[in-house]
């Protein structure tokens, strides 16, 4: 053990399960409070869990604590995580829709009917039932990720994963790969 490092800090750096569990028990409320000053609801919960997940899984993060006031250090980690989350959120932009070029009404009606048939075939032949809500919310109704996640009652990160699965299925469908 390096000079000046207490046994608790050494155990913390090593990722000792008991020490990390006690950190969670002792400091969860303070982290929730710190994150809650910047975020609300599911976003605050997501960041709070991310902070403790990083403590569990990232030895480099644990190594940054060199002693002193652990709660102050942890609250700074939580505040930084909340700020990073807000920055990412502010950069999220809804996908822009291209303005359609003018067409005559009959070709537009035929194109729309063809598109509806194609979408219906994709839903019937390729889309698993558990992804139908994501497809409807994000691709058909074009809700934002936050709106869709709220409507479907899932965390936004889960929605993103499911959306990626739908995109992969769509790609295979459009390119003609078997489902």
Res. 97 pLDDT band, cuts 50 70 90: very low
Alpha-carbon span 45 to 24, nearest angstrom: 14
Q: Is 50 exceeded by the pLDDT of residue 85?
A: yes
Res. 93 pLDDT band, cuts 50 70 90: low
Alpha-carbon span 153 to 175, nearest angstrom: 32
How much of the chain exceeds pLDDT 70, in percent?
85
Q: Is 60 exceeded by the pLDDT of residue 94?
A: no
pLDDT per position as a tens digit, 39-76:
998 889 999 999 999 999 999 999 999 889 999 999 99
Check residue 101 and give its pLDDT.
46
Helix (H), strand (E) at residue 169 = helix 156-175
Q: Is 80 exceeded by the pLDDT of residue 95?
A: no
Q: How many CB atoms lie within 10 A of CB 157?
A: 13
Q: Is 70 exceeded by the pLDDT of residue 176?
A: yes
More confident residue, 173 or 153: 153
Check residue 173 and give its pLDDT.
82
Alpha-carbon span 16 to 5, nearest angstrom: 15
Helix (H), strand (E) at residue 63 = helix 59-63
Q: Delimit the CATH 1.10.10 region(s) of the chain.
A: 115-175
Residue 72, Cβ density class (10 Å: 0-12 exposed, 13-18 middle, ≥19 buried):
exposed
Check residue 74 and give its pLDDT.
96
Q: Is 70 exceeded by the pLDDT of residue 131?
A: yes
How much of the chain exceeds pLDDT 90, in percent?
51
Check residue 98 and give its pLDDT.
46
Alpha-carbon span 13 to 60, nearest angstrom: 8
Where does 115-175 sit in CATH, by number? 1.10.10
From residue 68, give the alpha-carbon distance in Å to each of 13, 30, 51, 74: 14, 17, 19, 11
DSSP code of residue 140: I
Residue 148, Cβ density class (10 Å: 0-12 exposed, 13-18 middle, ≥19 buried):
buried
Q: Is 90 exceeded by the pLDDT of residue 174?
A: no
Chosen CATH of 7-91 out of 3.20.20.140, 3.40.1110.10, 3.90.1300.10, 1.10.1740.10: 1.10.1740.10
Q: Delimit the CATH 1.10.1740.10 region(s) of the chain.
A: 7-91
């Amino acid at each position: 053990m390096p000079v000046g490092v207490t046994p608790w800090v050494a155990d913390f750096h090593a990722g000792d399960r008991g020490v990390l569990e006690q950190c969670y028990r002792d400091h969860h409320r303070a982290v929730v409070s710190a994150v809650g000053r910047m975020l609300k609801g599911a976003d605050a919960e997501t960041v709070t869990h991310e902070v403790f997940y990083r403590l569990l899984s990232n030895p480099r993060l644990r190594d940054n604590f060199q002693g002193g006031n652990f709660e102050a250090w942890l609250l700074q980690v939580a505040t930084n995580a909340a700020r990073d989350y807000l920055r990412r959120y502010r950069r999220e932009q809804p996908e822009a829709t291209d303005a359609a070029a003018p067409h005559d009404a009959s070709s537009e009606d035929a194109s729309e009917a063809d598109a509806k048939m194609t979408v219906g075939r994709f839903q019937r032949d390729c889309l698993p039932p558990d992804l139908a809500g994501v497809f409807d919310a994000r691709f058909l109704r074009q809700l934002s990720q936050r709106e869709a996640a709220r409507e479907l009652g899932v965390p936004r990160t889960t929605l993103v994963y499911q959306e990626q699965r739908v995109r992969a299925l769509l790609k295979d469908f459009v390119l003609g790969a078997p489902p």
